[in-house]
Amino acid sequence: MLHTCEMSNPAVLWDNHKESLSEDIHYRVQCENPDMEVLYNNDILNEALVDVQDRLQALGGSSIEVYGLPTPQLNEPSQTGIALTRWGGLRVSMTW
């Protein structure tokens, strides 16, 4: 939608649906940590933003900042054990 439609306010769309857009990531983290109750947090939302950014770039679109969305943080360890690293254009998610 960001790449092909001219949306009036993508940031509001993100704010209203960021948990829905992060469901797969939340589910994966919960499965990797079955003894913990994993809540939606900044690490999970950040990984969703990285995914949105990657999809935009794959479509030849502008950077995520152009749409007024938060800039995802890369290469920072997180409390949920998600580390995002770029190796040759490939995004790798590692847990510890």
Q: Where are the domains of the chain?
A: 10-94
Predicted confidence (pLDDT) per residue in 2-60, tens digit? 655 676 788 899 999 999 999 999 999 999 989 988 899 999 999 999 999 988 888 88
Q: Which residue, 37, 66, 64, 31, is CA-closest to 48?
A: 64
Q: Which residue, 86, 66, 68, is CA-closest to 76?
A: 86
Q: Which residue, 85, 49, 84, is CA-closest to 67?
A: 49
CB atoms within 10 A of CB 74: 13
Regarding pTM above 0.75, the answer is no
Contacts of 63 (CB under 8 A, 6+ apart): 53, 56, 57
